[in-house]
């Protein structure tokens, strides 16, 4: 491309829209919104009747970052190449190539938090997708078919990148997306690790990442710049390290944040890892947590029991559950789910990006055995000095949930830790029986009380 005259008219107009609506107006409006949020947070009177401490101040920044990301998405098509990627996909090369990344799972979670998931999922169900498939997939397929989204608009993908390190479901789901959008689907197939990774498994993943880079370069019309790639990797590592530090701060008593906070604050590490803004944000968050620790402020006012959450959150219930538990002195201080984006930080090596990526992306907790997950839970029970474990038996997420019955059994019988299997779904309110759930949680709290 030698001059701007060469650009077709529609490209000019999308660039203009991107510039005006996102770069100029959007970013400024979101900054103003953040100032207002900060002001509100700073001037809000503490509510003596609330069992929760006031929210972290940094939440205003997180809202700005995430909103900016989704806002840019509205105007990204035609300006930046767009890749839709699974949450465990090796995205660093795509970041370095300037792709705008859409995480359908995160988008579905957003729909869940805003309590829009059911009505959007029903669009997919009306089109024939069964209620027995993952509710993230149903939510996004429903959004794709109907255009309904709380994010305004999602840009069409130029490429889909599907990595099976979280489940096989994503491959079935992305095949549906590929059929609908008619765009290339890049598969990064990651053999499930029943034991330690074998070299041929690492080599296989590495080779696929290399192939992905070739496809991504071709679509982007440019080559991957090595230095830029290493910078992204360095940011990814630093972001993941900070995230891990943040989560580990909850080893303090009282814990300065809850796992429910973690579910919300994980947005940047999932959606934007590799970007400098993520590092800056988590530095800010860590500093605020340290300040809380210094001042002895806990995320809940009366922390009596410390609990681990296993599996995805129940997005549509996060606020209610967090308050309900806090009222009973229960702080959910850790979760296997949020840990997944931090625990592999030490494996990321910016000097050997491809080798380390191959290893990192093979090792998420969801790509490892049920026994490994139990060991992780045991370790967390120990390190976080936990009094109990809630295992969310997530109807939608079989890879995370199968194995929980035996894991719970071992936690109770071998470790003597009260553990509850809570039947629900991460995004579909129809699969959560309110009364039954409360009764079971009530009994769980009583068990911890009896042991205290």
Partner 1 sequence: MSTVAGHAPSFPSRREVIEHVRALGREVVAVMPIHYPRAMLRAHRLHPIEIWGPPRVPRVEGSRHFQAYTCDIVVKATSFVRSGGIAGTKAILVPHTCDALQGMASVLGDFLHPEQRVLTLYLPRGRRTSDRDFLREELQRLGAKLSEVSGHQPSRADWMEAFEAEDAADAALADLYRRRERLAVSDRHFYQVIRAREYLTAEQFCEAATAVPEGNRPRTGVGLMISGIVAEPLELFDQIEALGAHIVGDDLACGFRRVYSTSMRNDPFERSASRLLKGPPDPTCGTPVRDRIEALQTRMRALGARGLLVYDPKFCEPELFDVPLLRKHLHEAGFPVLHVEFEMGETLPHQTLSRIEAFVETLS
Using CB under 6 A, list all residues that contact ligand SF4: 105, 134, 136, 166-167, 169-170, 312, 366, 396-397, 399-400
Q: Which residue is associated with the tokens 């890892």?
A: 273
DSSP letters, 106-174, are HHHHHHHHTT-HHHHHHHHHHTT--TTS-HHHHHHHHHHHH---TTS--PPPSEEEEETTS-SHHHHHH
Question: 129-168: which residues touch partner 1 (CB under 8 A)?
Answer: 129-130, 132-134, 137, 164, 167-168
| Residue 184 touches partner 1, criterion: CB under 8 A | no
- Residue 400 Cβ vs ligand SF4, minimum distance, rounded to whole Å: 6
Q: How far apart are CA 249 and CA 303, in angstroms?
A: 15
Question: 343-372: which residues touch partner 1 (CB under 8 A)?
Answer: 369-371
Question: 423-442: which residues touch partner 1 (CB under 8 A)?
Answer: 423
| Residue 169 touches partner 1, criterion: CB under 8 A | yes
Q: With DSSP H G I counted as helix, E B as strand and the rest as coil, what are the percentages for the chain, rounded to 5?
A: 60, 10, 30
- Residue 423 Cβ vs partner 1, minimum distance, rounded to whole Å: 8
Judged by CB under 8 A, which stretch of 17-25, 121-129, 248-256, 258-266 contacts partner 1?
Answer: 121-129
| Residue 284 touches partner 1, criterion: CB under 8 A | no
Site string for partner 1, 292-311 (x = CB under 8 A): --------------------
| Binding residues for partner 1, total number by CB under 8 A | 50
Assess contact for 437 and 422: CB atoms under 8 A: yes
Which partner in ligand SF4, partner 1, none is near 371 (CB below 5 to 8 A by kind)? partner 1
Assess contact for 269 and 341: CB atoms under 8 A: yes
Q: How far apart are CA 211 and CA 205, in angstroms?
A: 10
Alpha-carbon distances, residue 190 vs 90, 237, 341, 355, 356 (angstroms): 11, 21, 17, 14, 14
- Residue 439 Cβ vs ligand SF4, minimum distance, rounded to whole Å: 26
Which partner in partner 1, ligand SF4, none is near 105 (CB below 5 to 8 A by kind)? ligand SF4
- Residue 424 Cβ vs ligand SF4, minimum distance, rounded to whole Å: 12
**Residue 355 Ramachandran class (φ > 0 left, ψ -120 to 50 alpha, else beta):** alpha
List 54, 150, 156, 176, residue binding partner 1 (CB under 8 A): 176
| Residue 171 touches partner 1, criterion: CB under 8 A | yes
129-157 in b/e form (b: 16+ CB < 10 A) is bebebbbbbbbbbbbbeeeebebeebbbb
List 12, 23, 189, 382, residue binding partner 1 (CB under 8 A): 189
Alpha-carbon distances, residue 120 vs 110, 112, 171, 331, 428 (angstroms): 12, 10, 21, 32, 10
Q: How far apart are CA 72 and CA 64, in angstroms?
A: 12
Residue among 66 and 170 whose Cβ is closer to ligand SF4 = 170
Coil/strand/helix, residue 191:
coil
Which partner in ligand SF4, partner 1, none is near 159 (CB below 5 to 8 A by kind)? none
Site string for partner 1, 211-230 (x = CB under 8 A): x-------------------
- Residue 188 Cβ vs partner 1, minimum distance, rounded to whole Å: 10
Bridge partner list, 160: 84, 185
- Residue 124 Cβ vs partner 1, minimum distance, rounded to whole Å: 8
Strands 185-188 and 330-335: unpaired
Binding site for partner 1 (CB under 8 A): 127-130, 132-134, 137, 164, 167-169, 171-173, 175-176, 178-179, 185, 187, 189, 191-192, 194, 198, 200-201, 203-204, 207-208, 211, 369-371, 374, 393, 395, 398-399, 401-406, 409-410, 423
């Amino acid at each position: 491309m030698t001059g701007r005259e060469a650009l077709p008219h529609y490209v000019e107009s999308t660039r203009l829209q991107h510039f005006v609506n996102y770069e100029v107006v959007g970013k400024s409006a979101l900054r103003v919104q953040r100032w207002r949020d900060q002001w509100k947070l700073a001037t809000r009177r503490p509510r003596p009747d609330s069992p929760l401490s006031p929210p972290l101040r940094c939440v205003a920044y997180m809202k700005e970052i995430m909103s900016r990301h989704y806002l840019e998405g509205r105007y990204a098509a035609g300006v930046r190449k767009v890749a839709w990627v699974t949450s465990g996909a090796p995205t660093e090369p795509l970041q370095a190539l300037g792709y705008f990344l859409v995480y359908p799972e995160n988008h579905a979670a957003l729909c869940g938090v805003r309590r829009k998931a059911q009505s959007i999922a029903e669009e997919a169900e009306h089109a024939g997708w069964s209620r027995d498939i993952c509710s993230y997939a149903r939510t996004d397929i429903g959004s794709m078919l109907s255009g309904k989204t709380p994010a305004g608009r999602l840009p069409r993908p130029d490429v889909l990148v599907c990595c099976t390190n979280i489940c096989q479901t994503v491959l079935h789901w992305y095949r549906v997306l590929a059929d609908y959008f008619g765009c290339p689907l890049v598969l990064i197939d990651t053999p499930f690790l029943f034991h330690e990774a074998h070299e041929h498994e690492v080599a296989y993943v590495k080779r696929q990442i290399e192939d992905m880079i070739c496809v991504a370069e071709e679509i982007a019309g440019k080559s991957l710049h090595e230095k830029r790639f290493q910078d992204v990797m360095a940011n990814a590592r630093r972001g993941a390290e900070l995230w891990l530090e943040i989560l580990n701060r909850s080893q303090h008593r009282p814990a300065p944040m809850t796992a429910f906070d973690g579910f919300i604050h994980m947005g940047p590490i999932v959606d934007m890892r590799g970007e400098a803004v993520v590092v800056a944000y988590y530095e800010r968050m860590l500093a605020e947590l340290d300040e809380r620790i210094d001042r002895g402020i806990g995320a809940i006012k009366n922390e009596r029991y410390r609990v681990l959450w296993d599996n995805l959150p129940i997005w549509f219930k996060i606020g209610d559950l967090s308050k309900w538990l806090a009222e009973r002195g229960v702080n959910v201080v850790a979760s296997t789910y949020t840990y997944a984006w931090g625990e592999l930080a030490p494996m990321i090596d910016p000097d050997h990006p491809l080798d380390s990526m191959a290893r990192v992306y093979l090792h998420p907790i969801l790509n490892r055995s049920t026994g490994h997950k139990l060991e992780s839970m045991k370790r967390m029970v120990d390190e976080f000095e936990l009094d109990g474990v809630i295992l969310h038996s997530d109807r939608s997420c079989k890879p995370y949930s199968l194995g929980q019955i035996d894991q719970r059994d071992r936690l109770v019988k071998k470790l003597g830790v009260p553990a509850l299997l809570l039947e629900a779904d991460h995004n579909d309110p129809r699969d959560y029986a309110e009364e039954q759930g409360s009764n079971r949680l009530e009994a769980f709290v009583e068990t911890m009380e009896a042991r205290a």
